[in-house]
Amino acid sequence: MTTQLEQEIASQPAHIAALLAREAPRIREICAGLPDFDYALIAARGSSDHAAMYAKYVWAALGGRPVALAAPSLHTLYDAPPRMAGALVVGISQSGQSPDIVAVLAEAQRQGRPTLAITNDGASPLAAVADAVVELGVGPERSVAATKTYTAELAVIAAFAATFSGDARRLEELQRLPDALAATLAQADAVARRAERYRYMDRCVVIGRGYNSATAFELALKLKELTYVMAIPYSSADFRHGPIATIGVGAPALLVMPAGRAFDDMLDLARELRRLGAELLVISDQAQALDLATTPLPLATSVAEWLSPLTAALPGQTLALHLALAKGLDPDAPRAIQKVTRTL
């Protein structure tokens, strides 16, 4: 029986195509109307915080816009909001309901800073407090684990990055993205067959670097939510600063390593992990990476590195879905979590 999660994973290419067609002009309009700002301050939680991590790289790399990640607890628990002089303050939330994220934007408005909301609910409290809103418009996400809303957030962030860059080639690369997503999902059956091998896995590491640091954190979250595996995410750089000592024979390591500037570093790490006896699951579009893997999870087509977090997320989502099924779990209703989480 097809699960709601499987349907939502499969829907992503169409949703991203529609989102880009609908919202790209709106994003250009928002960018044209922004006052000068020195940096972006982004408030988010959960998967949306991983989207913010992607923005930290892509807005800086393409648009020269430094990004800081907010600490919402300063606004709610400690009643000690920081000065936001020079900031564009951004809230990213699928539901737009979490009071702590709303509080960050409300304080930004009190300080006279421009605010932007990226949310799937244009009638949410977050949207109501923002100067400008980009609505994801992907429809209700009925499965608890975020999939289509996460990649939609990435697509919106990428569209802002392309606009900030002023480079028309970036917008062209973005428009080709839905076809790349569809090609990658066409290989979902092969990923599903490989999930059974990890039925009894109870822990693993998930590693990426640069743009795909965010992907490592998001896929670790998907494995935790859906399969209850204690999946620990790392940047490859941070992993070398101590955690590599945890790797022994048979230790599972999921590596996110598409082509790009981070690839050589990830390849060196993959070889080192192989030498230590780790079992590698590898998401890549490069044969030399996939050849190192016990379980290769190939990307069907290459995209520009700055867009690769969108394609790289899909094999990981699919793996988590089918590993949950192999473990006899309900991927639409994982234990102890709810679709909308309101943190104070």
The three-state secondary structure class of 234 is strand
In sequence order, which residues have a C-beta less than 8 Å from that of residue 65 and are 6 or more positions away?
Answer: 37, 39, 40, 59, 164
The three-state secondary structure class of 164 is helix
CA 13/CA 16 separation, integer angstroms: 5
DSSP one-letter code for 245: G
CB 40 within 8 A of CB 66: yes
CA 51/CA 21 separation, integer angstroms: 20
User: Which residue matches tokens 């999660």?
Assistant: 5
Residue among 326, 20, 35, 58 at smallest CA distance from 174: 20
CA 3/CA 332 separation, integer angstroms: 7
In sequence order, which residues have a C-beta less than 8 Å from that of residue 146 and are 6 or more positions away?
Answer: 46, 47, 94
> Is 148 an annotated catalytic residue?
no
245, with CB counted inside 10 A (0-12, 13-18, 19+), is exposed
Cα distance from N-terminal residue to C-terminal residue, the chain: 38
Alpha helices (H) in 111-147, listed in sequence order: 125-129
CB 310 within 8 A of CB 16: yes
Residue among 225, 219, 199 at smallest CA distance from 334: 225
338, with CB counted inside 10 A (0-12, 13-18, 19+), is exposed
Catalytic residue ranges: 339
